[in-house]
Amino acid sequence: MLAAGDKDAAALHGPNVQALSAEDLSALRAQRRDALLARLAATPDSRYGRGPHRLEALPPLSGADFAAEVEAHPPFGRIRLVPDPLIRAGLATAAVPRPTPIAWTRADLDAEAQLGARALRRAGLATRGRSSDCLDGGLVTPGTLAVSDALDALDALALPVGPVTGAPALQRAAEVWDIVQPQLLVVDAPSLAFLYGTDGYPRPRTFAVLLTPADAAELAAPARDDVCRILSVPQVCSFVAGECRVRDGYHVAEDAVLAEIVDGGRLLLSALTRSLTLLRFDTGLRGALDRTPCSCGERHARLRF
């Protein structure tokens, strides 16, 4: 057995970022935010208009605003603050009135993979662990592509089986799960709802469930020991925040996302490093941020719904 201290360190995928002191974390957030504002100033034809910009002065961007921006300025809207080539596209479907194209650069995908590894490590998946996912493939995000990248970054085994929301799909998946015995199943809300109350398959130690703003009730429900919830808002970040083993709030990826609570509870998110940059995106969720230390050792603020 590992000593408690080792166990804490081992529970974090990126301790040099996740366990920064409060001062260092605050400095990192300020640095990322200043760099973002510099990119914004250098992109005067963005939808955010000519500067000078203060982030807090920008009006919140609703899902309807975002969808309208993309439609008026295809294919991705005037929100591109980093000119690197876009190498993957998908459809955001949560917190928008209709499926809306989004895209990533190489650097965006690499950053998302690390954040995904961080979230899955928090869910208890070790390096070289075995997992399987029941997410959509193809266009819809968050999907199996994002999770495969994260597992890659964790040197863990990926086994995509597609959505499992009925007996025939479960029978097919169970045949391979019987052989591979995944320790972690990565699911979305519909697959979790079906699998959690069903038997006839090797039950994993933990379900890691990717929830979007469309799953507000599931995000706010009491925590469960065998379910580790992750908030995904793919147009901002596929792995915005996730529960740790303490199961007392969702640690925000504060090196990648700026979370703000306005008007007594509305959660706004800004992408700090992404090429296609949504600023002050209104998730439609209501929550609170807690900066008190968490016993898991991670210092990033916790979000509660």
Residue closer to Zn ion (CB basis): 6 or 175: 6
H or E element at residue 90: strand 86-92
CA distance 284 to 263: 12
Q: Which is nearer to Zn ion, 52 or 222 (CB)?
A: 222
Alpha carbon distance 219, 213 (integer Å): 8
Q: How far is the CB of 117 from Zn ion (least distance, A)?
A: 16
Which CB sits closer to Zn ion, 73 or 304? 304
Cα gap 120→130, rounded to integer Å = 11
Shortest distance (Å) from residue 248 CB to Zn ion? 7
In the bound state with Zn ion, the residue whose beta carbon lies nearer, of 119 and 145, is 119
What tokens were used for 204?
A: 């994993």
Smallest distance from the beta carbon of 195 to Zn ion, in angstroms? 25
Query: In this complex, which beta carbon is closest to Zn ion, that of residue 245 or of residue 286?
Result: 245
Phi and psi angles of residue 243, each rounded to the nearest 5 degrees, phi first: -75, 145
DSSP assignment letter at 61? B
Lookup: tokens for 123: 């869910």
- Least distance to Zn ion, CB of residue 256, Å: 17
Q: Which amino acid is at 160?
A: P
3-state helix, strand, coil in the chain (%, to 5): 35, 25, 40
Cα angle: 68, vertex 69, 70; to 5 degrees: 90
Q: Give the nearest distance from C-beta 42 to Zn ion in angstroms.
A: 37
Residue (268 or 296) nearer to Zn ion, CB:
296
The residues binding Zn ion (CB under 5 A) are 244, 246, 294, 296, 298
Measure the CA–CA gap between 119 and 178, rounded to whole angstroms. Answer: 25
Tokens standing for residue 51: 């500067």
